[in-house]
Copies of this chain bind each other. A is one copy, B any other.
Amino acid sequence: MHVVITGGAGFLGSRLARELLKRRALTGSDGVAREITKVTLVDVVRARGFDDPRVELLAGDVADPEVVADAITEETGSIFHLAAVVSGQAEAEFDLGLRINLDATRLILERARRNGNRPRIVFTSSVAVFGGPLPERVLDTSILAPQSSYGTQKAMAELLINDYSRKGFVDGRALRMPTISVRPGAPNKAASSFASGIVREPLEGKEAVCPVSPDTVMWLMSPRKAIQALLHGHELDGAAFGHSRALSMPGLSITVRDMVAALERVAGKEVVARIRWEPDPALARIVASWPGDFVTARADALGFERDASFEEIVRAYIDDDLPRAR
């Protein structure tokens, strides 16, 4: 079976690829487990660090029909569509956001439909599809009222995936991911970058700036649980999703203060002393507009799992990523 990962050079995409190569099998469109014979990683740059003969690296624009036609063929049983323009950039570069977050998704759906083999498609959506007046805990039945271009484009893509699936053209699943923490690597320009930085940088002996108040409530998921969710979301039978293929993933609702306290318990006082509290009102406003807590009854019933504690998340980061970072 051929698997395609868009955004395959990114942190989640590469980690997912490594996990797939280890697992060796995935459920095919016929519901039967099949051996993974090829994993194609599509991204603007070639993914690094793969020497497995099953891996194909494809550098190209995922919104380019030729690139998509090269990547996705009648042999493609599974597509993990992770490529995206992130929140801050989609707001600053409106056309680019629409092109990658919406048009590329449509192109992939349409290619898969034309191929006629009804592949499983796992799409990473976002809690940014929610916004406006929300209950204290967002429900599975809460309205989609995104307040950003990123959230709008993700919500539109969800709707399209749902309809393509309802029509039987593809077998899609749109998983709304919480903020992933702790991400390895360098800080980026996402407003949520600090949620990884305040753990990652101090553990590497560097100073980190926390731009939000300690009272800020975050909705978090570890990289381990994120990969688990993508795989579990793929393996579930499509019919189990019921009336909608879009699903809010379980997360951990926690204040920034409690995140730092957990880091201190794991790594000590001198590590958390490297966090500089420097409020950035504009950024804090954006982060405060994100829902910090959800009731994810549908995902829970389908067997998706949340992280047990932020302490566990920090320990997992130390095990999985810190050695490489040092």
Contact = CB atoms under 8 A, between A and B. Distances in A.
Interface of A: 94, 131-133, 140-147, 149, 152, 155-156, 159-160, 162-163, 166-167, 242-244
A108 to B, nearest CB: 15
Contacts of A159: 144, 146, 152, 155-156, 159
Nearest to A243: B132
A1 to B, nearest CB: 27
A9 to B, nearest CB: 28
A155 B152 CA distance: 11
The quantity of this chain's copies bound in the complex is 2
Interface SS of A by simple majority: loop
Q: What are the nearest 9 A-B pairs in CB distance?
A: A132-B243, A152-B163, A156-B156, A141-B143, A145-B244, A152-B159, A156-B159, A144-B144, A155-B159
A244 B140 CA distance: 19
Contacts of A146: 159, 162-163
A144 B94 CA distance: 24
Contacts of A142: 141, 143
A143 B145 contact: no
Nearest to A94: B167
A147 B243 contact: yes
A149 B131 CA distance: 24
Contact of A133 (B132, B147, B243): B243
Contacts of A162: 145-146, 152
B244 A132 contact: yes
Given A141-B133, A141-B142, A243-B131, A160 B149 contact: no
A144 B146 CA distance: 12
Contacts of A144: 143-144, 159
A243 B289 CA distance: 12
B167 A160 contact: no
Contacts of A133: 141, 243
A141 B144 CA distance: 9
Given A143-B143, A152-B163, A159-B159, 11 more contacts: A94-B167, A132-B244, A140-B143, A143-B144, A144-B144, A145-B162, A145-B243, A145-B244, A147-B243, A149-B167, A152-B160
Nearest to A106: B98
Contacts of A147: 166, 243
A149 B147 CA distance: 24
User: Which of the listed residues A152, A160, A162 has the most CB atoms from chain B within 10 Å of its own CB?
Assistant: A152
A135 to B, nearest CB: 8
Contacts of A242: 132
A160 B166 contact: no
